[in-house]
Structure 1
Amino acid sequence: MSTTRQTAEGRDATRITVLIPAHNEEDRVGAALQSLERQSRPADRVVVIADNCTDNTVSIARQRGADVVETIGNTDKKAGALNQTLEWLLPSMGRHDLVLVMDADSTIVPSFLAVATETLGGDPQIGAVGGIFLGEPGGGLLGELQRNEYARYQRQIARRGDDALVLTGTATLHRVDVLNRLLERRGQVYDTSALTEDNEITLAIKSMGLRCVSPRECIVVTEVMPTWSDLWKQRLRWQRGALENLRTYGLTRVTRPYAVQQAGMAFGVFAMWLYLVYTCYIIATGQFGVHPIWTTLGLVFVGERVVTVWHRGRKARLLAAVLIVEWVYDLFLQGVLMRSALDVALRRPATWHHVGAATA
């Protein structure tokens, strides 16, 4: 997996190096490497970054033909592991080379690298290409709710013309020259102080005047949280990280859409709870009845929920049509938003959470 491609004229062509940071991923890293082996445009080198592993991650990675490097004294989680490797790797790479950063618990579709490489080659203003992540099978009802959520996010990105809100940490292809510019500007590629390094590096790249995109063909399949507790911790980190990054960057041309999005989410929390309180009030006072306007609006809302997951099949449509189940899920996510905002306001210490895979 460490060959160099050449053009017909004999010159070195663009090389793709894959970096997979892994902490005790013996159950998942094999599948990630297998998905790389199936690429229509294979990577030129695959490096598994073993970060404080105490299981068989290293031996499994080597058995699959990947190069393995082990971190030394890293206390900065994924960002620190990537920075240690990029520090020695980038000087040996050409400015037109590419680096795919991929999670050990995720897999990519066979056309991912080909599409991502072509996308970068077609527009020099694109700084990085991220994947569109979908949830893996399993996890019962909670897993199905997460898969529906991811499917709607996929539609949202498509409506934005593939413009990425966040370069997902599950799989993103970076230009080496962009990574070098980040390194020169701040002494590290990934900001180790950021709780969500993928969100932060998206803002950093966009602040350089470059675009970040997620083509619909670049599909990544990743784990779903197996329990409500795990989901709460995961989303708390995501949401809090996003808020902290906005506070760090301040209000700029780049961050303005993200600030508007957060404000919209906050308004959604207010509107949802206002509706619930009003509904309880009219039921308690005996005023509840069927009103044509509200009934029509309700049916339109249900229809929208069903249509946005239609391509996922019958089970997803039925879950969306029931409505109340996904409504509870939405209230849960709104609870995460409120808790995140409170933690940021009070500057409470943050924690990193790592879980295993969900079961069927």
Structure 2
Amino acid sequence: MSKYLITGAGVELGTGRHAQVVALVPAHNEEAALPAALDSLWQQTRRPDRVVVVADNCTDRTVEVARAAGAEVFETVANMHKKAGGLNQALGVLLELLAPNDRILVMDADGALAPGFVELALSELDDETVGAVGGIFWGESGHGLVGELQRNEYARYARDIERKRGRAMVLTGTATLHRVDVLIAVAAARGRTLPGPAGRVYDTTALTEDNEITLAIKTLGYRCVSPAECWVVTEVMPTWRDLWRQRLRWQRGAIENLRAYGLNRVTLPYAVQQLGMGIGVIAMWSFVLLTVLTAGAGYTFRPLWLLVGLIFVAERIVTVRRRGPRAVVLAAVMVVEWAYDLFLQGVLLRSVWDSIRRAEARWHHVSAPAS
């Protein structure tokens, strides 16, 4: 086997030198978004030693654009397993060439990294208890109200991670830096202590490969972290229909990952989270029903409930204030975000129903405009 992943552009690996960083950028028809993603890699304070675009069943100019931008290209062969399958093919070659102390950055083609992402993530991996370092994602601009609501949601998620001192619930597929030795251990454990095909890093049966790989790494005893400074700008869904399909896959994937792993010390926090979301659905719709049933009984001013409402509004504002006046105004109106919460609860209910009846799950790809 060649010591180069792609002929003509490789850097020799696995020679016992300092740890190297290889960036893998899975891409399916991403000619428009790809240049910005690659540029963010070139602008890193610690640039990757190699950047490899994993072109998966592309019918546009993704391959040409990647090479023109200075990246290597790995084209998948007869891949039927989406992103996870493409990454497995590339990693099947790479892991034989890399040293255990090397690092692999997996980054989506529609994202853009903070300039210091790689440097900081590398420093976090100096701690041998840390298996991988994920990014904190922020939504790209545009797409009107549906985009603004997603950006507020992402801001609250980022704040929640910061309050947990960087403990990551999910190693986002948007950008995560992995230890090679940990990925090798994951592949070796597949089919035995971990679900999925033996010898493969990613479980191709999982709908959400980032959530599943997080569970796999934690099951092997490693911590997963997402420092606030490791931020990445990612796409937001441009329409409500696109958002429904994206979140349906995310939510159903989370449920089915829990089913695959069972209830244990690693999955318990995730199970509690899902239970909390279910209780939230019951509480919300109970409130709506009670409001409708008592609407004709007249209004009675109750200071306690006014105080509760004001605290709720204040929390919504405080958690997005860093995003600026537009985000604050949207949160203060409250009714719009309340409707958004109902939308997400609808996603939860549908995903549970689909999971129960084992309905076929489908991927949905949104072609990004030029950045």
1:206-225 equivalences in 2 (<5 Å): 206-225=218-237
Is residue 139–residue 151 contact of structure 2 (8 Å, CA) maintained in 1?
Answer: yes
Residue 277 of structure 1, CA deviation: 1.0
Residue 4 of structure 1, CA deviation: 6.8
The aligned counterpart of 1:328 is 339
**What secondary structure does 1:188 align onto?**
coil
Q: Measure, in 2, the Cα distance between the counterparts of 1:208 and 1:333.
A: 32
What is the number of residues matched between the two proteins? 355
Is residue 226–residue 357 contact of structure 1 (8 Å, CA) maintained in 2?
Answer: no
The aligned counterpart of 1:353 is 364
The aligned counterpart of 1:205 is 217
Is residue 240–residue 341 contact of structure 1 (8 Å, CA) maintained in 2?
Answer: yes
Q: Measure, in 2, the Cα distance between the counterparts of 1:214 and 1:4.
A: 30
Q: Measure, in 2, the Cα distance between the counterparts of 1:96 and 1:41.
A: 16
Q: Measure, in 2, the Cα distance between the counterparts of 1:224 and 1:286.
A: 43
1:19-58 equivalences in 2 (<5 Å): 19-58=24-63
Residue 358 of structure 1, CA deviation: 7.3
1:295-334 equivalences in 2 (<5 Å): 295-334=306-345
The aligned counterpart of 2:4 is none
- Counterpart of 2:154 (choices 146, 150, 155) is 150
The 1:59–1:106 alpha-carbon spacing in structure 2 relative to 1, beyond 3 Å, is same
1:140-179 equivalences in 2 (<5 Å): 140-179=144-183
1:132-147 equivalences in 2 (<5 Å): 132-147=136-151
- Counterpart of 2:298 (choices 266, 272, 287) is 287
The aligned counterpart of 2:78 is 73
Per-residue Cα deviation, 1:219-277 (whole angstroms, up to 9, x for no partner): 01000000000000000000000000000100000000000000000000000011111
Is residue 24–residue 57 contact of structure 1 (8 Å, CA) maintained in 2?
Answer: yes
Give the TM-score of the pair, scaled to structure 1: 0.96
The aligned counterpart of 1:262 is 274
Unpaired runs of 5+ residues, structure 2, are 1-8, 191-198
Q: Measure, in 1, the Cα distance between the counterparts of 2:368 and 2:268.
A: 36
Is residue 99–residue 174 contact of structure 1 (8 Å, CA) maintained in 2?
Answer: yes
The AA in structure 1 aligned to 2:93 is W
Residue 2 of structure 1, CA deviation: 4.8
Q: Measure, in 2, the Cα distance between the counterparts of 1:64 and 1:101.
A: 18
Corresponding position: 1:275 with 2:287: yes
Residue 286 of structure 1, CA deviation: 2.5
**What secondary structure does 1:47 align onto?**
strand
The AA in structure 2 aligned to 1:74 is N
The 1:303–1:338 alpha-carbon spacing in structure 2 relative to 1, beyond 3 Å, is same
Report the RMSD for the aligned CA atoms in angstroms. 1.7
Per-residue Cα deviation, 1:68-126 (whole angstroms, up to 9, x for no partner): 010000000000000001001101101100000000011101000011001101x1000
- Counterpart of 2:249 (choices 224, 237, 240) is 237
Is residue 224–residue 357 contact of structure 1 (8 Å, CA) maintained in 2?
Answer: no
Is residue 61–residue 68 contact of structure 1 (8 Å, CA) maintained in 2?
Answer: yes
Is residue 40–residue 111 contact of structure 1 (8 Å, CA) maintained in 2?
Answer: yes
Q: Measure, in 1, the Cα distance between the counterparts of 2:247 and 2:42.
A: 31
Per-residue Cα deviation, 1:155-211 (whole angstroms, up to 9, x for no partner): 111111100000000000000000111111221000000010100000000000100
**What secondary structure does 2:104 align onto?**
strand
Give the TM-score of the pair, scaled to structure 2: 0.93
Q: Measure, in 1, the Cα distance between the counterparts of 2:272 and 2:86.
A: 33
Residue 3 of structure 1, CA deviation: 4.8
- Counterpart of 1:113 (choices 112, 118, 121) is 118
Unpaired runs of 5+ residues, structure 1, are none
**What secondary structure does 2:297 align onto?**
coil
Is residue 127–residue 174 contact of structure 1 (8 Å, CA) maintained in 2?
Answer: yes
Q: Which runs of 4+ in 1 moved over 3 A?
A: 1-5, 357-360
Residue 280 of structure 1, CA deviation: 1.5
Q: Measure, in 1, the Cα distance between the counterparts of 2:88 and 2:366.
A: 23
